Structure 1
Amino acid sequence: MADVSVSADGGFLTVAEGGRSARFHAIWLRDNAWDAQTRAPGNGQRLITLADIPKDTRIATAAVSGPSLRVTFAPEGKSVDYDRDWLFRHSYDRTQQSQPGWTAPGIETWDSGLMGNVPTGDFGDVSTSPLALRRWLADVARYGFGKLLNGPVEDGALMKVVDLFGFVRETNYGRHFEVRTTVNPSNLAYTGLGLQAHTDNPYRDPVPTVQVLYCLESSAAGGENMVVDGFRAAERLRQENPDWFDALTGHCARFEYAGEVGVVLRSRRPMIELAPDGELVAVRFNNRSAAAITDVPFERMETYYAAYRRLGEIIDDPAMEVTFRLSPGECFVVDNTRVLHARKGYSGTGTRWLQGCYADKDGLLSKLAALGAAEAAE
């Protein structure tokens, strides 16, 4: 049985039910009303602004009514029904995270221990089964990357992967880009050298948040793909040396790309980015695109470089990496704000042809949420 009480001044109410209790301010409740005068029934968007709500809004009365909580506001004299489960799901009356670098619910950081359990889906299954697609997208959201197997071996097949959850983000590199390398090449532009784990395009603001790499040819020995969880690397740095963690979160690095005529891309962002409440939201690490660091005070520059060096060492630690080889028709999707990717070097003879493109994580998360809502409604 639910119980509700209103503060003496009407500024907030307290609702208790089944061992749970939460307080809600009058202005918050009024702003989050779902009546037809406040929200559009079709899409849920607000029909009023905060300026349309009286500054002196307070709770006149509140009472339990079945599964709902009916609240009457003064001075409007307006009554609104709230679903109590919705209120508890959106409660802000809770202990807030306090340690800088905390990760959101549903995020699971990892290291090389994930090697035998790489999140993987089947292209045919996720293309035809909403349940299989939801499960695969949920793994990508949780771990920051995921593989797809048994896709078509055809030019442009990666676009069919993006179509599963969103839209291609076109850049100066085009809708997609070619990754062709030949072992013992006649031209060093097609080198088989390995690459350090990195995030792509840190010089963009915002960066592309999802990258797809799709394999069409793979006859060379070596060339395995490697991924590293940048969030786990940030956690290790914080545990080892909080001052170094603070240096990389508290000061901006600079990144730049000016490798083609008419293109000068620059950004100024921290290598480890936190939200104002300390949530770990992004990692940017790409030594090839790093510009001169000028936003760190003289007194902190040596500390900053020590932290930068140590973060690189953690990223390079084999205990942090998960490796896998892509065969033709296979691909992987990576959260480019979190997971660093690389490739091992080549040896012997052969070729390797991948196609890559960018997309946006909001599309992936939107598709995941919509699939979850549809499944719950069945």
Structure 2
Amino acid sequence: MLRTATHDTSVVTVAFDTGTQARFHAVWLRDNALDPETRAPGNGQRLITIGDIPADISVSSAEVVAGGLQVTFQPEDKTVTFPAEWLAEHNYDCERDDTLGRTGPGIITWEGGIAAPSGDWNEVHASPAAKRSWLASVASYGFAKLTGGSTEPESLLKVADLFGYVRETNYGPYFEVRTEVNPTNLAYTGLGLQAHTDNPYRDPVPTLQILYCLENSAEGGDSIVVDGFRAAEKLRAQNPEGFALLAGYPARFEYKGSDGVCLRSRRPMIELSPDGELVGIRFNNRSSAPFVDVPFDRMEAYYAAYRQLGEIIDDPAMGVSFKLEPGESFIVDNTRVLHARLGYSGAGSRWLQGCYADKDGLLSTLAAMEMTQPEAAE
């Protein structure tokens, strides 16, 4: 609840019962008014444009009413109310962490030694609590397994159905991961693969990848996941100048593996938001194109940082490994978690199917469950 509210024409200052204070600008309060003329009651979407707000907007009164804030704006002579909890949640008059390369709220970075977060196929399909826990693991850790599923082909599509939709690419709605003769992609061989993010040559990249095991009697072929955010944190601690180089200059990625397909992107290996938050990793040696956007006098230092990041990623202590059994799958946040594979022999069989999906669907499903099904957390 609010204790007091004071104002001048352009700023309202409130004191919460927690003892904290916050200031809000008149134009910000007007733009975010919660009345039905400003926001649609059904979906909360804004019904006004910035041009609809008078350029000379001002506050003529501000007072605490029933624990919330009641404000009257001029020259509209419009009065609106803001709940105290809403103001506290949207307070922007506060100290901010401006550390370059920091991770966002709810992100848990990790390295080898953690138990892979996992859900049971039947439970996540039947129980809101189990589904919510599984989705929350993907959001926080960037990956999670799913066990106890069917061995029927295309079962991976039902994994995507838990939260969203398959993102179809030139590989189709899904792709096969098994040894092929004359493969169009190294993923279709028995070779080991360095930890990498998929499809860095796309803009935007597919933000989630699902790999589903149908057969796995071959020797080897264990899956490995590496937290790219933890790797970036280590690079920043060991070599802040190198971290800044990989974040400050775009790398280039390219794929021309089949007729009619030529995909290219120009993005940094370490991607930061405008205010410095770590938001993405693109790392894939197979798809790297020549780097031509780094100045001559910084290219050697750039390559040294690239090598150092690769050494961190390749460190066995960084990876969590597991061998998928038939009916098991795992999902990775492809903007963050790298995945690798040990080589496997021609004896036996190894058949996985993979597909892509979008993280916004998963985060939307999780957020909707948190709002509408709080009992799922119990």
Give the TM-score category using the shorter length. over 0.9
Deviations along 1:201-253, whole A, 9 cap, x unmatched?
00000000000000000001211000000000000000001000000000000
**TM-score normalised by structure 1 residue count:** 0.96
Deviations along 1:16-61, whole A, 9 cap, x unmatched?
3222221111111111111010011111111110100011112211
> Equivalent pairs: percent with the same residue?
62
What SS does the aligned partner of 1:262 have?
Answer: coil
C-alpha displacement of 1:80: 0.5
Q: Is the contact between residue 208 and residue 358 of structure 1 (CA under 8 Å) also seen in structure 2? A: yes
Deviations along 1:106-164, whole A, 9 cap, x unmatched?
000000021xx211000100001111101110011000000000011101000000000
What SS does the aligned partner of 1:333 have?
Answer: strand
Q: Is the contact between residue 231 and residue 280 of structure 1 (CA under 8 Å) also seen in structure 2? A: yes
Change (3 A) 1:77 1:15: farther
Once residues 52 and 189 of structure 2 are traced to their aligned partners in structure 1, the CA distance between those partners, rounded to angstroms, is: 63
- Mapped pair 1:81 → 2:86: no
Amino acid at match of 1:197: A
What SS does the aligned partner of 1:214 have?
Answer: strand
Match of 1:145 in 2: 143
Q: Is the contact between residue 9 and residue 26 of structure 2 (CA under 8 Å) also seen in structure 1? A: no
Q: Is the contact between residue 103 and residue 278 of structure 2 (CA under 8 Å) also seen in structure 1? A: yes
What SS does the aligned partner of 2:113 have?
Answer: helix
Once residues 32 and 154 of structure 2 are traced to their aligned partners in structure 1, the CA distance between those partners, rounded to angstroms, is: 45
Consecutive unaligned residues of structure 1, counting only runs of 5 or more, are none
- Mapped pair 1:65 → 2:65: yes
**TM-score normalised by structure 2 residue count:** 0.96
What SS does the aligned partner of 1:171 have?
Answer: coil
**Equivalent residue runs for 1:96-175 within 5 Å:** 96-114=96-114, 117-175=115-173
C-alpha displacement of 1:346: 1.4
Match of 1:328 in 2: 326
**Equivalent residue runs for 1:201-350 within 5 Å:** 201-347=199-345, 349-350=347-348
Change (3 A) 1:306 1:312: same
- Mapped pair 1:2 → 2:5: no
Amino acid at match of 1:327: E
Q: Is the contact between residue 101 and residue 235 of structure 1 (CA under 8 Å) also seen in structure 2? A: yes
Once residues 29 and 109 of structure 1 are traced to their aligned partners in structure 2, the CA distance between those partners, rounded to angstroms, is: 36
Match of 2:91 in 1: 91
Amino acid at match of 1:349: A
Match of 1:191 in 2: 189
C-alpha displacement of 1:377: 7.9
What SS does the aligned partner of 2:103 have?
Answer: coil
The count of residues paired between Structure 1 and Structure 2 equals 372
- Mapped pair 1:52 → 2:60: no
Amino acid at match of 1:149: T
**RMSD between aligned residues:** 1.4
Once residues 162 and 131 of structure 1 are traced to their aligned partners in structure 2, the CA distance between those partners, rounded to angstroms, is: 18
Q: Is the contact between residue 3 and residue 67 of structure 2 (CA under 8 Å) also seen in structure 1? A: no
Among residues 174, 177, 180, which one is paired with 1:176 in the alignment?
A: 174
Among residues 334, 357, 365, which one is paired with 1:367 in the alignment?
A: 365
What SS does the aligned partner of 1:260 have?
Answer: coil
Q: Is the contact between residue 2 and residue 15 of structure 2 (CA under 8 Å) also seen in structure 1? A: yes
Q: Is the contact between residue 214 and residue 351 of structure 2 (CA under 8 Å) also seen in structure 1? A: yes
Deviations along 1:180-220, whole A, 9 cap, x unmatched?
138xxxx4645322100000000000000000000000001
C-alpha displacement of 1:67: 3.5
Amino acid at match of 2:363: L
C-alpha displacement of 1:65: 1.3
Q: Is the contact between residue 23 and residue 93 of structure 1 (CA under 8 Å) also seen in structure 2? A: yes
Q: Is the contact between residue 212 and residue 356 of structure 1 (CA under 8 Å) also seen in structure 2? A: yes
C-alpha displacement of 1:348: 6.6
Amino acid at match of 2:37: Q
Once residues 9 and 59 of structure 1 are traced to their aligned partners in structure 2, the CA distance between those partners, rounded to angstroms, is: 5
Q: Is the contact between residue 108 and residue 142 of structure 1 (CA under 8 Å) also seen in structure 2? A: yes
Once residues 131 and 5 of structure 2 are traced to their aligned partners in structure 1, the CA distance between those partners, rounded to angstroms, is: 45
Deviations along 1:52-91, whole A, 9 cap, x unmatched?
0011112211111114211111111101011110110111
Amino acid at match of 1:235: E
